């Protein structure tokens, strides 16, 4: 049983680490960014609302996020735990989620906070490419797919997210600093924060996360 949140600024490596963690602990990887992008692609009412915010690098309003995640973790595949990637992202979401967990008699095990400085994040994000189908992240220089434009895992199209332009990335840093970084103190206070040095190789980051999460 592992109930884990992945925290960290845009580009910290949350999506990159998520696959290995989900596999190791046999829990589903739930990425709110991936869920919103799937809704945008399908043109659902949620997708239409979310898109306006995502395109500008702003957060989607809390009321569109909380129920979505809380319904998701009540599904059967989460009986053994879950890995949340990109949620919570505001103090409101964190408090709402804590109240929800309490009402279900659940508790988070750990909040893994991947720490990376902005000067390292910027080139990671502007060079990022992602699979349109499964969401797996790549990088044009440091982690290109084996065949250009094709996902190694699922064969989906590897593309550049519109919000990974330099201008929008700088906006997302600002949003992170103002709205998400207060969660570090919030989860430190509840004794759940596991800080990780994200400026290491992908494998080293993974090992540090596993060491903190235990068996
Ligand atoms: P990143 O790779 O930068 O961490 P994500 O893929 O997690 O980005 O999120 C992309 C966008 O989706 C965010 O900029 C935001 O607009 C929206 N989003 C994702 N998760 C949340 C959330 N928990 N609350 C509000 N907006 C969110
Ligand atoms: P997040 O989900 O936190 O926004 P990603 O996992 O999508 O971040 O990673 C952002 C970019 O940085 C991707 O292009 C990815 O290939 C690259 N990346 C991830 N981890 C590392 C690492 N440890 N060292 C160098 N580049 C990395
Ligand atoms: Zn894929």
Q: Is the pLDDT of residue 215 over 90?
A: no
Residue 23, in any domain of the structure: yes
* Nearest ligand 2 atom to alpha carbon 129: 14
As a whole number, the mean pLDDT across the chain is 97
Cβ neighbours, 10 Å, residue 53:
16
Residue 129, in any domain of the structure: no
CA of 125 to the centre of ligand 2 (A): 8
- CA–CA separation, 147 and 197 (whole Å): 30
Give ligand 1 pocket residues (Cβ under 6 A).
Answer: 10, 14, 32-33, 36, 53-54, 57-60, 65, 86-87, 89, 93, 172
CA of 55 to the centre of ligand 1 (A): 11
Phi-psi region of 198 (alpha: psi -120 to 50; beta: other; left: phi over 0): alpha
Residue 138, in any domain of the structure: no
Per-residue pLDDT averaged across 184-192, rounded?
98
* Nearest ligand 1 atom to alpha carbon 15: 2
Q: Is the pLDDT of residue 10 over 90?
A: yes
Tell me the CA distances in angstroms from 6 to 3, 15, 53, 141, 194, one per residue in order.
10, 9, 22, 25, 10
Q: What was the pLDDT predicted at 74?
A: 98
CA of 197 to the centre of ligand 2 (A): 13
- CA–CA separation, 12 and 86 (whole Å): 11
- CA–CA separation, 75 and 164 (whole Å): 31
pLDDT band for position 169 (cuts 50, 70, 90): very high
Instruction: State the residue range of the domain holding 100.
Output: 2-116+170-213
Under a CB-based contact definition with an 8 Å cutoff, are residues 12 and 113 in contact?
no
Residue 28, in any domain of the structure: yes
Helix axes 182-189 and 91-103, enclosed angle (nearest 10)? 30
User: For a pLDDT cut of 90, what percent of the chain falls above it?
Assistant: 100
Identify which of 186, 194, 198, 199 has the alpha carbon closest to the alpha carbon of residue 212.
194
pLDDT band for position 20 (cuts 50, 70, 90): very high
Ligand 1: residue of 33, 69, 84, 97 to mutate (most ligand atoms within 8 A of CB) is 33
Residue 123, in any domain of the structure: no
Residues acting as catalytic residues: 14, 89, 128, 161, 172
CA of 106 to the centre of ligand 2 (A): 30
Strand 128-131 and strand 158-159: the pairing is: antiparallel
Q: What was the pLDDT predicted at 181?
A: 98
Q: What was the pLDDT predicted at 173?
A: 98
Per-residue model confidence as pLDDT tens digits over 126-151: 999 999 999 999 999 999 999 999 99
Per-residue model confidence as pLDDT tens digits over 98-117: 999 999 999 999 999 999 99
Residue 55, in any domain of the structure: yes
Tokens of 73: 């973790």
* Nearest ligand 2 atom to alpha carbon 205: 23
Q: Is the pLDDT of residue 178 over 90?
A: yes
Q: Is the pLDDT of residue 51 over 90?
A: yes
- CA–CA separation, 27 and 200 (whole Å): 25
Q: Which CATH number characterizes residue 101's domain?
A: 3.40.50.300
Cβ neighbours, 10 Å, residue 48:
11
Q: What was the pLDDT predicted at 39?
A: 97
Per-residue model confidence as pLDDT tens digits over 24-44: 999 999 999 999 999 999 999
**Number of domains comprising the chain:** 1
Q: What is the b/e burial string over 6-37, where b = at least 16 CB atoms within 10 angstroms of the residue's CB?
A: bbbbbbbbbbbbbbbbbeebebebbbbbbbbb
């Amino acid at each position: 049983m592992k109930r884990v949140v992945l925290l960290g600024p845009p580009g910290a490596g949350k999506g990159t680490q998520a696959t290995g963690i989900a596999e190791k602990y046999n829990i589903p990887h739930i990425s709110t960014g991936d869920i919103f992008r799937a809704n945008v692609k399908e043109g659902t009412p949620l997708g239409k609302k979310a898109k306006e915010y995502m395109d500008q690098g702003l957060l989607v309003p809390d009321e569109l996020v909380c129920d979505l995640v809380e319904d998701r973790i009540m599904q059967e595949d989460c009986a053994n735990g879950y890995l949340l990637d990109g949620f919570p992202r505001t103090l409101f979401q964190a408090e709402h989620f804590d109240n929800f967990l309490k009402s279900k008699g659940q508790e988070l095990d750990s909040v893994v906070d991947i720490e990376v400085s902005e000067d390292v994040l910027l080139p990671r994000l502007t060079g990022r490419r992602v699979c349109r189908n499964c969401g797996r992240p790549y990088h044009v220089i440091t982690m290109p797919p084996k065949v250009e434009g094709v996902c190694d895992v699922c064969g989906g199209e590897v593309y550049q997210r519109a919000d990974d332009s330099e201008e929008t990335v700088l906006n997302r840093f600002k949003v992170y600093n103002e709205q998400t970084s207060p969660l570090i103190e919030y989860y430190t206070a509840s004794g759940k924060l596991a800080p990780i040095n994200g400026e290491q190789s992908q494998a080293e980051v993974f090992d540090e996360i596993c060491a903190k999460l235990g068996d």
